[in-house]
Structure 1
Amino acid sequence: MDLDAYVLTHQHEWARLNELASRRGKLTGAEGDELLDLYQRVATHLSEIRTRSPEPTLVAHLSSMLATARLRSAGTRTLSFDDVTTFFTDTFPAALYRLRAWWLWTMAANVVVAWVIGAWFVSNPSIESALISPTEVDQLINNDFESYYSEYAAGSFALKVWTNNAWVSALCIALGVLGLPVILLLLNNILNVALIGGLMWAHGRADLFFGLILPHGMLELTVVFVAAGVGLRIFWSWIEPGPRRRLDAVAHAGRTAMSVALGLAAVLLVSGIIEAFVTPSPLPTWARVGIGFVAWSAFMAYVFTVGRWAARRGATGDVTAADAGDYAPVVG
């Protein structure tokens, strides 16, 4: 194949496609038809060049041009109020409900492990002396633990907590396909809670610990467990894809997980506000814990009512077919 001659023969078509694809404003009906016709021709040209004379620069140039033309021909989408409403009434709750077994078991296992570690720490005082000095213990239980929730301005603290927890949840989902990193993240999180809780309990400050951790922790930790369960579901879809091809199963699980991650960011905003404004407030313990319980109960009710209804309507938690993209044809 004489590549120079081929380029000379077809470069006017490539230039015209580039012009139409890059033009601002709407195309006329005739120009739209021309765009589609040129797209098919240039795609054929690219295929021939790749097969017979794959010059890297030219292949990259034509590939980029075709991508731009495809976006132009498919149109662009704008986010509407209906999209947001549909997300929170169908996509997000349906994903939570359909994946409930994964995150409920994750939550149960972590709570049990946390209690076991905390009880083991309390019943073995020698461990405490090996990990932390008496001075540090006194500083933690009488000052640091409580002051942590009030040392920053409430607004900036809420933002700090929100971004930190959103990052941890995103990591659980992003690393889900690997499996083990999610378990390690959970273990690190549970160890911190269990050891501090065991330390406070051993020194007679369990009331302070639970009074400060429960208002925001019920919702916050549930979100982390949801993210971890969804992440592990991605890993399992890779191990056991079922009737689908492995890549298709992982893609479906991954898209659903991204929907969950987006929704959890909103839930974490609520827990961050509670942690910044309710946890350190002068309200009595019963009132602070009650607010946290109401928030947690509202989330669970949302999952098992709105989520169940959405699942019954056929919502899967995956993105729409238009957003999922196209599959390349394969020969069986």
Structure 2
Amino acid sequence: MNIQRWIARREPNWKRLDALLKQVEKKGLKSLQATEIKELASLYRSVSADLARSRTHHVGHTLVQDLQILTSRAYNQIYQGSRRQEWQAVIDFYKWGFPATVQQTSGYIAAATALFLLGAAIAWWFTWQDPVFMSLIVPESLIEKVRDKHELWMGSIVGIEPLASSGITINNIKVSFAAIAGGITAGAFTVYILFFNGINIGAVATLVGQNNLAYPFWAFVFPHGALELPAIFFAGAAGLLIARAILFPGKYKRSDALKFYGSQASQLVFGIVPMLIIAGTIEGFYSPSPLVPEPFKYLAGILIFTLLVLYCNRKKKL
């Protein structure tokens, strides 16, 4: 191989790659047009091949070193730049995309919330009318602890906070994903999950209310419930969206409806996972803590819920 002729033929590519890299390093990858980005990737592959050839033919230590630096710069910008873009996309989703999805699916969220509250109201009514109903919903051991010992059960979390927090988070994620997956049953299982969980919370709330333990009970529920319950409602909305695509595709083909409504459902899923993790942490460490006065727990719950409402109603400025 004629080294000088080869260098003369390949050098314009090296200079062009260097020029593109200087622009990217100064102004970022977004400063390039689509054709220039393709050119950058193509030149990177080409110069990488030149580097391999120069090593094989021993064209000189200085040239090999220069090509090595050039390919390293290109690699960093192409691959790490794409990673930065991916992270920026994630940040943008949680900053603007998730609130927008919540606003677009507010009707489904309201329906999921209504199903839950309907279950809670029915449990409250039947429990007050017939004490036997409570024994069908609430474990007997829990009833005895509240009714006979006049105690709540949250103290069992104290001392095992990390284990309790992880277990709570996993359980909440299971419930939420069950509500989402229930969409493929045309929404039947989603409705069941929401309604049954409403019955559970309604029966327990009635039990503590009947035994004058409502204030400490809701002090425990408020901090983490401000995130946990909305997350479950969002999950229920995701399941209802999938059910809508199956049952009422409207102007879409059923496959297209599943893509459209499934996309909204998946965005709700991405949004609720951090909510459940944060809620599980609060429930494991803060909510049951005897060191935190109960009024502070109520205030924390109100503050968290207020911030959630403000966040979900934010709009991207054009």
Scaled to the shorter chain, the TM-score interval is 0.5 to 0.7
Residue 299 (structure 1) aligned to one of 305, 308, 312: 308
Residue in 1 aligned with 2:233?
A: 225
The letter for the 2-side match of 1:100 is S
Q: Which is worse superposed, 225-234 or 134-143? A: 134-143
Contact 2:142-2:153 within 8 A present in 1 as well:
no
CA 1:124–1:242 in structure 2 vs 1: closer, same or farther (change >3 Å)? same
Q: Which has the larger radius of gyration?
A: 2
TM-score by length of 2: 0.67
Structure 2: tracts of 5 or more residues without a match: 1-43, 50-78
* Residue 122 (str. 1) matches residue 128 (str. 2): yes
The letter for the 1-side match of 2:106 is R
- How far is 1:288 from its partner? 0.3
Residue in 2 aligned with 1:162?
A: 169
Q: Trace 1:175-254 onto structure 2 (pairs within 5 A).
A: 175-178=182-185, 179-254=187-262
Contact 2:123-2:200 within 8 A present in 1 as well:
no
Residue in 2 aligned with 1:92?
A: 98
Contact 1:122-1:201 within 8 A present in 2 as well:
no
Contact 1:166-1:268 within 8 A present in 2 as well:
yes
The letter for the 1-side match of 2:127 is F
Residue in 2 aligned with 1:261?
A: 269
The letter for the 2-side match of 1:221 is L
Query: 1: CA distance between counterparts of 2:135 and 2:197?
Result: 22
The letter for the 2-side match of 1:223 is A
CA 1:249–1:144 in structure 2 vs 1: closer, same or farther (change >3 Å)? same
Secondary structure of residue in 2 paired with 1:242: coil
After the TM superposition, which parts of structure 1 deviate over 6 Å for at least 4 consecutive aligned residues? 129-135
Query: 2: CA distance between counterparts of 1:300 and 1:268?
Result: 16
Q: Trace 1:19-30 onto structure 2 (pairs within 5 A).
A: 28=46
CA 1:115–1:277 in structure 2 vs 1: closer, same or farther (change >3 Å)? same
Residue in 1 aligned with 2:296?
A: 287
Structure 1: tracts of 5 or more residues without a match: 1-25, 32-74, 314-332
Contact 2:190-2:239 within 8 A present in 1 as well:
yes
Contact 1:104-1:226 within 8 A present in 2 as well:
no
Query: 1: CA distance between counterparts of 2:297 and 2:135?
Result: 33
Residue in 1 aligned with 2:71?
A: none
Contact 1:177-1:232 within 8 A present in 2 as well:
no
CA 1:95–1:285 in structure 2 vs 1: closer, same or farther (change >3 Å)? same
Contact 2:224-2:283 within 8 A present in 1 as well:
yes
CA shift digits 1:159-208 (9 cap, x unpaired)? 22222212221221222132101111112212221111111122222223
Residue in 2 aligned with 1:71?
A: none
Tell me how large the CA RMSD over aligned residues is.
Answer: 2.9
Secondary structure of residue in 2 paired with 1:241: coil
